Amino acid sequence: MRIAFVINDRFCPAGLIEDVVADAGHDIIELFPHEGDVVPKSIPQDWDGLIAFGGRMSAYDDDTHPASADIAHLIARAHDAGLPFLGVCLGVQQLARALGEERFTMESAELGFAPLALTDEGRADPLLQGIPVAPVMQVHEDSFRIPPGGELLMSGEGGIVQAMKVGPTTYGFQCHFETKADSLSMWLNMLEKEYSPQFTAKQAEMVSAAAANSKSYLSAAQAFGTELTRRWLDMAKNATLTSQARHEAVS
């Protein structure tokens, strides 16, 4: 299969997801829209899936990041075409924008490893059913509302929306389940240098805990992320086969 990656920010690499996709033998097409790569206006026929990753910008920052509107359009086209989509952090916010939701900024940024809970819909969903859900890294101040027709799959403390599904193959996750040790270290250093004076007591506690327990946190979070990504790839493969069979039947 050929899986397209929208890399919004090199500070938020594809990480674990890239490893799983590559190890499975699939081709990766990388797009860096905010660095000048042209975003397709329609879905290329040889794409079998689309994944949008995190970034330090907002999904709605058209003035400073004019490619944001093109990315939202691409995601909307993928969803309409039934191309399997997976959004991570900024990527799920871009999905919400693509499906008509407005910007939603939280009162306080969510930082560090946060516990997650599956909803009834999440426990029954083929992507999440039976997977042990560990605390996963969070670095975001924007959130998202679930578009009409969507399902809440996973939530965090205080009812923060953490995962949704819209239709059979369109998924989005707020948490950074793609995180690896190098990016985690980079993010924690950034938070400590640039944001620590502004931390609430809870934020300071969570960031400190993430730094002190990164090895054990990452091990559980990566087990969750690896299985989730493998299942999404299986879903994309099945969707591709279904599409091919439909095309052959028509031909």
- The CA distance from 234 to 45, in Å, is 19
Strand order in the sheet with 150-155: 27-31, 2-6, 49-52, 85-88, 170-173, 161-166, 150-155, 117-118
Domain count, the chain: 1
* CATH classification of the domain holding 201: 3.40.50.880
Task: Note the pLDDT tens digit of each residue in 86-135.
Answer: 999 999 999 999 999 999 888 888 999 999 999 999 999 999 999 999 99
Q: Provide the domain limits for residue 154.
A: 2-246
Task: Note the pLDDT tens digit of each residue in 144-164.
Answer: 999 999 999 999 987 889 999
CA atoms within 13 A on the CB side of 225: 27
Task: Note the pLDDT tens digit of each residue in 1-27.
Answer: 999 999 999 999 999 999 999 999 999
Confidence of residue 244 (pLDDT cuts 50, 70, 90): low
* CA dihedral for 15, 236, 79, 143, sign (positive or negative): negative
Q: Is 31 exposed, middle or buried (0-12, 13-18, 19+ CB in 10 A)?
A: buried
Residue 45 lies in a domain: yes
Mean pLDDT of the chain, nearest integer: 92
3-state SS string over 200-238? Answer: CHHHHHHHHHHHHCHHHHHHHHHHHHHHHHHHHHHHHHH
**What is the pLDDT, as a whole number, of residue 248?**
46
Find out whether 214 and 181 touch, Cβ atoms under 8 Å. yes
Residue 193 lies in a domain: yes
Does position 250 have pLDDT exceeding 80, yes or no? no
What is the pTM assigned to this prediction?
A: 0.94
Residue 251 lies in a domain: no
Residue 157 lies in a domain: yes
